[in-house]
Amino acid sequence: MRIMSGLKCFLYLTWNDSAYRIGMSHNPLLDLCFLQKKGYQKLQILSQALPVGTAYFLFRQIADDREKYGQPYVSKSFAGKTGLLKKAARFWLKNQWDQPVARLAEKKTKKLQHYCAKFHLKLLPPQGIISVKELENYSLPHSHDLQSVKKVLRGRLLFLEEIERALVEHGLQVVSPLEDVLQVLLLKGEIDMCPGITWEQEGPVCRRCGQQTGVKQTSCFDCGAHCFYCEECLSMGESRLCKPLYGLAAGFSQEQQSGNHRVQLDFTLTRAQKNAAIALKRFVREKGQQQCLVWAVCGAGKTEVVFWAAAEVLNAGGRVLYVSPRRDVILELVPRFERAFPVLKPLVLHGGQSQKFARSNLVLATSHQAIRFYRYFDLVILDEVDAYPYRGNLMLQHAVARATKSTGKTVYLTATPTGQLYKLAKQGNMHLIRIPARFHGYPLPVPELVAEKSLAYKLDGEVVLPGSVMDFVHRTVEGDLAQLFVFVPSVFLARRVGEVLQQLVKQPPFNDFTREWVQYSHSKDPLREEKRQRFVRGDFPIFVTTTIMERGITVERANVLVLFAETERIFDAGTLVQMAGRAGRSAAYPCGQVWFVGARITGSMQDAVAWIKEMNQEAYRLGYLKEEIHEACSDREVT
């Protein structure tokens, strides 16, 4: 089976004695062979073969919805007249059908010429009329081929080469040309098709990721010098003007079977988790709002809360997608889902896998993998929705929305909701469920805001760490016997602050410490994962880092120090909350300390503190906090 990298299509007009139809196909004779069953007897090609994206745009300009599926010559009002008039009209059309069709073809050709001129494209004149008599030896693809393609395409949005790989992965063979099989499925109305890139009013747009800004002009073998490709979704395979995308909305199929999935956990949920799980299960079950925000404090155990909602959907024969922005998080979640649903093997999708087209009613995937799904999931759970790369990424938001069925529901999990999500939830336009307390029942550490103008870095690279900052460091390491996250806003500062601290901790009041005290890391550090693991093991007490360590790392005894916290471009309220969330995560040290230090106190710093206090107040109001707070937390604000 040979797959062309691109596809070119003709526009055509076909008709019978009572109706006509405008079509688009890589092989109009194939279409006529299929449509003769509906009474269509003649066909005229209106254009030369054009890249599918260009042909698709022109097709939409010259044909309305009725013309795409068959438009009668006689209007409904006239056809409703006396039987004699109706018969006379049909007799005239039957004997003179070429005359009105010729006028129609001329009208459509003029319209095509008008739009082709905009693309500096010369339209060739219409070709001669083809009759069904010329199709005596023409055959359509076998029904087995149609079913095989539908099986791998259901719930997916794929290019031709991806469909071919999916067939191989499923062990299926298609004897007929794949393009022919897909065209027949289109004619039957069983699948959808659009080009990877086509034109809208505002210019070329990628139909796979929905973006326009990343579409660039290029040359290619199929189109010549006037092709386009999309940079936004290039990592998922090239989307081009001459490449068609095929999709089949999942609906309910024989593959979907209701089951008896009972969540199995080897630990007990906290009361806050249990109440949230019940509320989320109710949200999934009931009709009404289709979006829900689960706002959980850092370390609240929000992942386990979604298990019962997922079971509700799976037991009804539905499909669930759990999306996380990071591959390491997905891999860490796999055994947790396998333990919770021992009779169901989840499908795991991330960029490092070779097999991407297997099927399961439970899918765990990184954000980008959603781009290949099409109206497939009844429930989509988005973890860390505020994090890179999902936050602010219109491409991924478009992909996730398209992967969800029109009746499906979406759950957003986050400790730091974006402004838009927060506003929607506050206004009641999105269901809101809070988990305001950690499992150990202690309040979140409330950051201390410190305005320290002497904290500075100079043009020559010198960094000045004032005595108050060194006091926080000393208090953590030798007072609390804890480890310290030191967050800074740039790669340069991670390196310089790390080097300065390495020198300062060798001086009084620090005791003589024979092992290493300080390590630093950032996004460009090739050893960042090794250092992360060593810090978690307790190999060194002070870790200077950028925001790469704001999530997904838990240290049993940890305080947090954020330097240059006034850098709002990097340290917005959500980021500050996430960094503060590294403290107080364990029952052994639930009341860690957090300091935000900057040249001035910013709105983001104040908002972060307000968010944390709001969650503590909610936890206190609901009775989720312990009656007797540990003496180490006695000076923390709870109400």
Task: Give the residue extent of every domain in the chain.
Answer: 8-135, 143-247, 271-435, 448-633
Average pLDDT of the residues in 290-305: 92
Helices vs strands, H then E, count in the chain: 20, 28
Phi and psi based region of residue 623 (left: phi greater than 0; alpha: psi -120 to 50; beta: remaining): left
For 94-126, how does the pLDDT look when each residue is reduced to its tens digit (9 = 90+)? 544 456 778 888 899 999 999 998 878 888 888
Phi and psi based region of residue 78 (left: phi greater than 0; alpha: psi -120 to 50; beta: remaining): alpha
Residue with the larger pLDDT of the pair 5 and 631: 5
Residue with the larger pLDDT of the pair 616 and 226: 616
Gap between the terminal Cα atoms of the chain = 69
Please state the pTM of the whole predicted model.
Answer: 0.86
Residue 615: CB atoms within 10 Å: 24
Angle between helix axes 98-118 and 83-96 (nearest 10 degrees) is 70
**Domains 271-435 and 448-633 agree in fold:** yes
For 466-521, how does the pLDDT look when each residue is reduced to its tens digit (9 = 90+)? 999 999 999 999 999 999 999 999 999 999 999 999 999 888 888 776 678 999 99
Quote the CA–CA distance of 345 and 524 in Å, as a whole number.
36
- Place 544 in a pLDDT band, splitting at 50, 70 and 90: very high
Quote the CA–CA distance of 622 and 240 in Å, as a whole number.
54
Nearest Cα residue to 570 out of 560, 562, 582: 562
Q: In CATH, what number does 271-435 get?
A: 3.40.50.300
Average pLDDT of the residues in 273-302: 93
Q: Any idea what DSSP says for residue 439? A: T
Q: Give the contacts of 71 (CB within 8 A, at least 6 positions apart).
A: 19, 20, 21
Beta strands, E only, 437-482: 448-451, 456-457, 463-464
Residues in the chain: 639
Contact present, 349 and 377 (Cβ < 8 Å):
no
Does position 628 have pLDDT exceeding 80, yes or no? no
Does position 144 have pLDDT exceeding 90, yes or no? yes
Instruction: Calculate the average pLDDT of the chain.
Output: 88
Give the phi and the psi of residue 149 in degrees, each rounded to 5: -70, -40
pLDDT at 450: 97
Quote the CA–CA distance of 523 and 549 in Å, as a whole number.
10
For 386-443, how does the pLDDT look when each residue is reduced to its tens digit (9 = 90+)? 887 778 788 889 999 999 999 999 999 999 888 788 888 888 889 999 999 999 999 9
Does position 74 have pLDDT exceeding 60, yes or no? no
Q: Which of 124-138, 243-257, 462-476, 582-596 has the lowest mean pLDDT?
A: 243-257
Taking CA atoms, 307 is separated from 165, 337, 435, 524, 534, in Å, by 32, 8, 15, 36, 32
- Fold observed for domain 448-633: Rossmann fold (3.40.50)
DSSP secondary structure letters along 182-212: HHHHHHTTSSEEEESEEEETTEEEETTT--S
At 256, the amino acid letter reads Q
Quote the CA–CA distance of 326 and 315 in Å, as a whole number.
28
Distance from chain centroid for Cα 568: 27
For 435-448, how does the pLDDT look when each residue is reduced to its tens digit (9 = 90+)? 999 999 999 999 99
Does position 167 have pLDDT exceeding 70, yes or no? yes
Quote the CA–CA distance of 338 and 264 in Å, as a whole number.
9
